[in-house]
Chain A
Amino acid sequence: MLDALAATGKTMQQDQQMSNSPDKTIASDSVAEFIGTTKRFGSITAADGLSLRIRRGEFLSFLGPSGCGKTTALRMLAGFERPTEGDVLIDGSNVSGLPAHRRPVNMVFQHYALFPHMNVAQNVGYGLRQRRPRMPKAEIAQKVAKALGTVRLSDFSDRRIWELSGGQQQRVALARAIVNEPKILLLDEPMAALDAKLRGEMQRELLALQRSLGITFVLVTHDQEEALAMSDRICIMGNGRIAQVGTPGDLYDRPRSRYVADFVGKANILTAEIIETRDKLVTVRLRSGALVAVQQNPDDSRAQADIAIRPEALSLAAPDAPLPVATATLPARVTHRTFLGDHTEYLLEADDLGTLQVNVPQQAERVSGGHDVGARVHVLWPEGTGLVLAADD
């Protein structure tokens, strides 16, 4: 498959089936569904016509900047908010009017919300003690012990909550939720209160847990790396709406809009005039007059569009170097050069075009000997890399 936006993009797990249009799965495969779900708080529309199928057993993340409605979407799944319009389905049945305590989902809260008047085991067993008819005490104790073992807190069952570290509290919150074997586990920025090192550790643990339990996880985060590292699919939100849903690889290689291209990874975004479309390639004229061929955006017939290209898809050559075939060249001057270990980041002023970022792998940098700040260079744009973005709505 052609990586449209980044010819040298990172290798990402790419499920052939998953990278197709994500919303067209069969119904029995989905554990929950938003159907035109809207939530308004007074004049604020926190969630605006969400439509999304959450697949059974997947790890889905809601990703987006602060205030874009991620938490609201999650809280509508949990039952804390009732949709103003539209519906929420869980396991095929409409739960829009069902209160939180009657939904087969459990949540890990951002600040854990552990019960301070109960010890660790009592916290974890809380959900099981609510079952009616009652679950036998021995069975509760056994399940609690198993859940505590899963999060590696077996020796802590008699501890008080305030005697635990942040990471341990988070694991208690996790155990308190998974012990109920929910259909979906909801996590609202569960790692936000942890320091960077612990966060990485918890991410790996969480992922391993999800694989071993087979429970559907829905995570809310504004941390792009976290979402990319953990999710099977990411739902990118902006302004209460879903901007794009896809695998991490999808979103990186084929962002539908400028918003997504900007949000996931770094991208050069340029305005261009569309000249002609042949096969799936579009020839566009940049502002400098240069012609480049990029990937088409399906069902698009605009004369003008934004196009995006990843910094690592471009390369640099000295002005006198022989030009490779099927490559457009943009003359430019180096303005900044930052060594970043495995690659060097160049900022360039392209003639009549503006600022471009180009990332050169260290290997190529060693071969060419690098380019000094102020030097004239050619930016090389291989045919068929980069793509046309849809208009932002």
Chain B
Amino acid sequence: MAMTPSRARGLLLTPAGLWYAALLLLPLAVVLIFSFGERSPIGGYAPGFTFAQYANLPARFAAFRNTLTLAPIGTLAALLIAYPLAYFLAVKVTPKWKTLLLVLVIVPFWTSILIRSYAWIFLLGGKGIPALLAHLGLEDIRLLNTPFAVLVGIVYGYLPLMVFPIYVALEKLDKRLLEASADLGTPPWRSFLQITLPLSMPGVLTGCMLVFILLMGEFLIPAILGGGKVFFVGNALVDLFLQSRNWAFGSAVAVALVVVMLVVVALYSRAVKRFGATRDDTGLM
């Protein structure tokens, strides 16, 4: 007997639906339930229904503050470094060198971020860059275990994730559009602002979203380069779940992080939409 189309579609969607439920909704539900519970005396979770964990959130204010400042700043810094790099790779480099240089962008990924971050400990530590600066007469500059060190670490770690979407957007940009722009009387730098930049925006927005969301959950780099002084929400979670074994409070922090992230992403996409709309209404420049 033939199935109705809607029933067939329902069946086809079942695996995806189950996957979604098992991997996303279920853990989220568990975390949500835990966040209203209590810490059991021996650590872990004891059932209950209380808002005490949420009331206690301000205790982790510093972690939220660090995350919410360093993640956007890190994203922006990565963008500012990645765009010229991607532009160079996509537009300026001859095809012969392109592949090699692209591989060089990926190569760091072949080693664990843990090891690469330790390398930065040396570079930013007393015998690294500060020693060099001392030679130049800039004594007593501390880099390691500062927000700056964490920033350097996250920009370094996430740069390829920013480079690639922008590279792809620039690579597929039709070069004839730039000729058309020049033909219509536009000098190169204005062609960049009016043609190249707006048409590479999808890549920029994808890269920023990707890096920002991953940064919000980052804990390894702050742990290594922040030296326990500059910690993210991720570090707070590691601490609460693995060290002090306060699962209930940890769950509340996790829920708060998810909520904050949802709000930021929603604001971001609204800003992006508005940007698109103004472009339509008034034209560029």
Contacts and interface: CB of A to CB of B under 8 A. Distances in A.
A78 B183 CA distance: 7
Nearest to A118: B283
A117 B174 contact: no
Given A117-B199, A117-B279, A100 B190 contact: no
A130 B184 contact: yes
A126 interface: yes
Chain A interface size, under 10 / 10 to 19 / 20 to 34 / 35 or more: 20 to 34
Given A130-B184, A180-B184, A100 B195 contact: no
Interface string A82-106: 0000000000000000011110011
A129 B285 contact: yes
B203 to A, nearest CB: 13
Contacts of B17: none
A115 B182 contact: no
B176 interface: yes
B199 A180 contact: no
Contacts of A129: 283, 285
A111 interface: yes
A167 interface: no
Contacts of B284: 118, 122
Given A113-B174, A117-B279, A126 B179 contact: no
A131 to B, nearest CB: 7
Counting chain A CB atoms within 10 Å of each CB, the highest count among B174, B182, B190, B195 belongs to B182
Interface in B126-151: none
Contacts of B199: 116-117
Contact of B183 (A106, A114, A116, A117): A106
Contacts of A79: 182-183
B235 interface: no
A119 interface: yes
B258 interface: no
Given A100-B182, A129-B285, A115 B187 contact: no
B176 A127 contact: no
Contacts of B41: none
Contacts of A171: none
Contacts of B277: none
Nearest to B177: A113
Given A115-B195, A117-B199, A118-B283, A130 B186 contact: yes
Given A113-B174, A113-B176, A130-B190, A107 B183 contact: yes
A80 B179 CA distance: 8
Interface string A118-136: 1100100111011100000
By secondary structure, the B interface counts as helix
A122 B283 contact: yes
B182 A101 contact: yes
Interface in B4-23: none
Counting chain A CB atoms within 10 Å of each CB, the highest count among B174, B185, B190 belongs to B185
Contacts of B180: 107, 109, 113-115
Contact of A111 (B176, B181, B188, B190): B176
A127 B185 contact: yes
A176 B176 contact: no
A215 B143 CA distance: 66
Given A109-B180, A125-B283, A101 B174 contact: no
B186 A101 contact: yes
Contacts of B187: 101
Contacts of B283: 118, 122, 125, 129
Contacts of B188: 101
Nearest to B184: A127
B17 to A, nearest CB: 34
Given A115-B195, A117-B279, A176 B184 contact: yes
Contact of A100 (B176, B177, B183, B198): B183
Contacts of A119: 280
Nearest to B190: A130
A102 B184 CA distance: 9
Contacts of A122: 283-284
A80 B283 CA distance: 26
A107 B186 CA distance: 14
B146 to A, nearest CB: 41
A99 B190 CA distance: 14
Nearest to B279: A117
Contacts of B190: 130
Contacts of B181: 115, 126
Given A116-B199, A117-B198, A130-B190, A180 B185 contact: yes
A331 B195 CA distance: 68
Nearest to A75: B179
A76 to B, nearest CB: 13
Contacts of A115: 177, 180-181, 195
A187 B185 CA distance: 17
Contacts of B177: 113, 115
Nearest to A176: B184
A384 B184 CA distance: 52
A113 B179 contact: yes
Contacts of B285: 129
B185 A130 contact: yes
A105 B185 CA distance: 9
Nearest to A103: B183
B169 to A, nearest CB: 12
B182 A99 contact: yes
Counting chain B CB atoms within 10 Å of each CB, the highest count among A107, A125, A126 belongs to A126
Counting chain A CB atoms within 10 Å of each CB, the highest count among B184, B188, B279 belongs to B184
5 contacts: A99-B182, A115-B177, A118-B284, A126-B184, A180-B185
Given A101-B186, A109-B179, A129-B283, 13 more contacts: A78-B183, A100-B179, A101-B183, A102-B185, A107-B183, A109-B176, A113-B179, A113-B180, A115-B180, A117-B279, A125-B283, A126-B181, A129-B285
| Complex A-B, nearest 7 residue pairs according to Cβ-Cβ distance, in ascending order | A127-B184, A113-B180, A130-B185, A100-B182, A113-B176, A101-B182, A122-B283
Interface of B: 174, 176-177, 179-188, 190, 195, 198-199, 279-280, 283-285
